[in-house]
Amino acid sequence: MIRFRLPRILFPALILIAGLVHSTLGWAQDSSKTVVTTPQVRAELLAFAPQGVPVGLGEAAAARQPVWVGLQLAHKPEWHTYWKNSGDSGLPTTLEWTLPPGVIAGDIAWPIPKKIPIGSLANYGYEGTVLLPVPLTITPDFKPPLTGNTLDIKLKASWLVCRKECIPEEGEFALQIPLKGSTALNGAAFEAAFKAQPRPALTTQGILPDSVVRIDGNLLRFSVQGLPVELRGKTLDVFPETPEVIETAATPKQAWNGAEWTASIPLAPQRLNSPSLMPVVLASNGQGWRAELKVVGEWPKVAAGPGVSSAPDTALKANAAATAAAPAGGSTSLMLVLLGALLGGLILNLMPCVFPVLAIKVVGFARHADDRRAHRLSGLAYTAGVILSFTALGALLLALRAAGESLGWGFQLQSPGVVAALAALFTLIGLNLAGLFEFGSFLPSSVASLQARHPVLDAFLTGVLAVAVASPCTAPFMGASLGLAVSLPAAQALAVFAITGLGLALPYLAASLVPAVARALPRPGAWMQTFRRLMAFPMFATVVWLVWVLGQQTGIDGAGALLALLVSGAFVVWTLTLNGRARLVFATLSIAGFALLTLGIGQNIVKFADSTPVSGSAERWQPWATGKVDSLLAAGQPVFVDFTAAWCVTCQYNKKTTLANAAVLADFDAKKVHLLRADWTRRDPAITAALSALGRNGVPVYVLYQKGRAPVVLSEILGVDELRSALAAL
């Protein structure tokens, strides 16, 4: 920033002398070239060299003889031109000088601007008359022309002058400044411009705190020190020199804290600049101060997200590439897969299938709220249980695949027997939590005491249980990761499964190791009973889901049989809690009834229904079959395939929302898309093969096929917008 260095006291005298010189000697410049008049503006090139032009002087001596030039813009009423930061629109005035060798023009010493609001926008600029002064440096290289005694100056200026409408204007100017004698006719104009220069705010390193601007969400909080005492309590105008940072039209909320001036101003929604230093001009009553504010904090991201969203088939390519690359042994890609597995495991904690198991853990946690060692032990045991069973399940899957079985992740839920067993287990846990029985009351006392004496074993088994029910939920988040895992060498694949388990166990493990978590829980008491009963309901909800899955696999008879057996089994459990003769009689009867029921209808549970259970099948969906996609494509029809399973919650959610969306269905019809549903609720080697061709090993998978194009794999949580844009691209 350029400041005027001439002692102020000299001005009146100089101006007086200049006036005398002018009136008596006349003016040496060609006035026809110094003024450009348009209907909006009168622009004039002015000079100010009260002590003449320093020719052949050294730097220090030359500095004592300042030479200023400047463009004076006199606006017609309502019209304005712009400051160096023009605000929301407009352009700063630009000056291009043509000067003799050895003469150097400095930057414009911008006087304090005005904020000019225009509706919801605002500009920084000048109305009335303004002079934009520029200092000239006369170096010793400057050689006066042989023919004259003048410094010849040419200027090409362009300014944008606006009222509501804007007019870009230009002017060419020329001026000759006498080398000898004073040029001070326009001293008053220059003095006014110098007075309107912002002065630097006081900075005293180490004594005054730094002036800073803090980024606080979408606000900038200014804190400026070193302003003069007379400003205190006054409302200041704020002019940031950096364009496109703050919302120009906003009114700053400002306050004074003693010597510190503070203000908060919202960031521009489409902020362009993220400076580390923000020079700001603060003004009041025609006087201004300039402070350079250090920026504290992180600028919020401006252009978050993808610059260009990738083509929709990128997911497929990425999958294929990962599958191709990883077996070659790229350690980076394995690390990425492992990281993905860890994240996937963590996310599993939020899934509806895992939630009930987590609820059991929370109850257990509260029970031992004051025993830190027990917490640590049970946390470790739970983790071990999760990791080991995840690995064991993975190993089983790999072994079965190696033996020629076509299986995918979640395969255990494709077996009705497993589903029924899980339903029974969850009923039992639910009844226990609801308070129908305590384990100790009917188990042989040795087993009951085993459980009590071995909370570690208990925790371990909870971990196993968590994995058993969590596995079907893994597919949506880890489709690519687990799909890749089964194609990796066995050791690496098992590592992926183990890491997934670690992710699942991690939150509970961390909670058990940090004493603060246990302390944060309420003290054991009556609330625990209430909480326990509450947790019974997620268990029963899980049972409902499992019964529904079984219904998809074995039909209404299977589901009915399972429900009957669950009720009968619950009755058996209750009779065992009775005492004395009643226990003997009722228990005998109930067990006999249960056995009869099992013999009579039990086979319905494991017998697959005859009809193809394409769940919720409307006419528009047809069952998928090998080769069907190809034959439809050959006929020129686009094909959409929904790889789904009844036990896959995400699949069901997508089916009820996006795939039932009226706009989506209309788009399907408009594009004559053939809809196929591949139901993987039960084992189906053909579907498993089709999934692995897509680089996947679980459901859901949504694929859009079109003749002559790579199939487009859509995301697992299928969005209406995503699907519609994919359809629009057909």
Partner 1 sequence: MQRRSFLSAAAAAAILMQGHAMAAPAVVGQSAPGFTLTDTAGKPVRLADFKGKTVVLEWNNPGCPFVRKHYQGNMQSLQKEAAAQGVVWLAINSTETASGDYLSPAQLARWMQDKQAVPTATLMDEDGVVGKAYGARVTPHMYIVNAQGVLVYAGGIDSIPSSRVDDIPKATPYIRQALGEIKAGKPLSVSTSQAYGCSVKYKS
Identity of the residue, 210 or 244, whose beta carbon is nearer to partner 1 in the bound complex: 244
**Nearest 5°: CA angle at 140, between 138 and 143?**
85
In the complex, the smallest distance separating the C-beta of residue 542 from partner 1, rounded to whole angstroms, is 8
CB closer to partner 1, 302 vs 457: 302
Among candidate residues 174, 192, 167, the one with its CA nearest the CA of residue 81: 167
CB of 122 to partner 1, least distance (A): 9
Q: How far apart are the first and last CA of the chain?
A: 59
- Taking the least distance from each CB to partner 1, the nearer of 5 and 164 is 164
Least separation in angstroms between CB 85 and partner 1:
11
State the nearest-atom distance from the C-beta of 160 to partner 1, in Å. 7
Q: What is the smallest separation between the CB atom of 309 and partner 1, expressed in angstroms?
A: 4
Residue 273 Cβ, how far from partner 1 at the closest point, in Å?
9
**Residue that is written with structure tokens 């020629």 in the block:** 404
CA 477 to chain centre: 19
Based on DSSP, count helices (H) and strands (E) in the chain, helices before strands.
Answer: 20, 24
Which residues are at the interface with partner 1 (CB under 8 A)? 88-91, 118-121, 123, 158, 160, 162, 164-168, 243-244, 269-270, 272, 301-311, 350-352, 541, 544-545, 548, 649-650, 652-653, 656-657, 717, 719, 721-722, 724-729
Q: Which is nearest to 501 in space by CA: 398, 394, 359?
A: 394
CB 704 within 8 A of CB 638: yes
- With CA atoms as reference, report the closest residue to 634 among 707, 538, 533: 707
Residue type, 357: V
Is the CB of 384 or the CB of 703 nearer to partner 1? 703
In the complex with partner 1, the residue whose CB is nearer, 116 or 433, is: 116
- Alpha helices in 577-714, H assignment, sequence order: 580-606, 628-634, 649-656, 662-670, 685-693
Please report how close the Cβ of residue 442 comes to partner 1 at its closest, in angstroms: 28
C-alpha span between 308 and 378 (Å, rounded): 48
Number of other residues whose CB lies within 10 A of the CB of residue 117:
13
475 touches 486 (CB < 8 A): no
- Parallel/antiparallel/unpaired status of strands 287-296 and 212-216: parallel
Q: Could you tell me the two tokens for 102?
A: 């050895």
CB of 439 to partner 1, least distance (A): 27
Question: Considering the complex, what minimum distance in angstroms separates the CB of residue 361 from partner 1?
Answer: 18
Least distance from partner 1 to the Cβ atom of residue 304, Å? 4
Q: How far is Cα 453 from Cα 449, in angstroms, rounded to an integer? A: 6
Task: Pick the closer one to partner 1 by CB: 126 or 261.
Answer: 126
Q: Which is nearer to partner 1, 550 or 572 (CB)?
A: 550
Closest CA to 212 of 246, 266, 261: 261
Of the candidates 154, 193, 166, the one whose C-alpha atom is nearest the C-alpha of residue 41 is 166
Q: Tell me the C-alpha distance between 195 and 207, whole Å.
A: 28
**Cα–Cα distance between 157 and 169 in angstroms, integer?**
8
Nearer to partner 1, 118 or 514 (CB): 118
Closest CB to partner 1 among residues 256, 540? 540
Residue number with CB closer to partner 1 (201 or 536): 536
